[in-house]
Chain A
Amino acid sequence: MDFLVKFASAFMSVFQAGGANFVSWVTGIIPTILMLLVMMNAIIALIGDERIEVIAKFCTSNPITRYAVLPWVSAFMLGNPMALSMGKFMPEFYKPSYYASASYHCHTNSGIFPHINPSEIMIYLGIAQGVTALGLDSTPLALRYMLVGFIANFISGWATDFTTAFVQKQQGIKLSKELIAKA
């Protein structure tokens, strides 16, 4: 009998521990995230998608705007995964590179701007939660995540130009570097 009781209470304690964790996340994380999401959604709706497209067309000409500025702005304004759609303004050859950069931007910026990628936010929040639990401010972490990401994502995007050239040769395909006007 004692064994059964012990087993039952151990069984329940697993879910109580899980529940306690859940509650701490819901009360600690959700309220702030929710307010941020409301504000960001509203700002994005008020600015509108059309203006972003104007910026996008402007940014395709050189690597810096292509892999650092445009993906950053797109991630902020459109979030994951719609930020990736801005690649449509690129010549075919640069689309993989833009993807490489923009998809990273949807992660590295999510520390400060959780609206960008709420469904995968726990990578950042999981770690940040640990830092907060020690009584430390998680803002420096979020800020560094974004700034280092800005540099690293640019490198990752640009590096893809070279791997694309390599794979292109390997597969015997040639992708256009010119922008073909779409009807």
Chain B
Amino acid sequence: MKYLILIQSNPRSLAIWDKMSDDERAAFGRGHLELNEAMAEAGVHVAGEGLADPSLARFVSVRDGETIVSDGPYAEVKEHLAGFYLIDVPSLDEAVAWAAKVPDAANTEVEVRPILDMSGWEF
């Protein structure tokens, strides 16, 4: 079963990041790299990325067949998605165990969301 581990950036996480020394920040980055490798090594890694700043986002909508593109949030948003891991593991417990290894979990918290699949039970 696939699970998405979501990492948010918010005032709390920014305050912690702000207080970190360069060494601590480097260790934090290494933590993510090592986690990526550990997930790959365990054969559970599907995808994982960090997201660029929300000011670089584009909002896309289609009205009457016309695509309308606008720039990312005009006002500073308090909380935004900063990165994610997509993993394939047998159970929620294992997904939670992987989430606990995300460096951000030690500072704030990360969210684990099950992915809907196409399986079906015969009613």
Partners in one complex: no
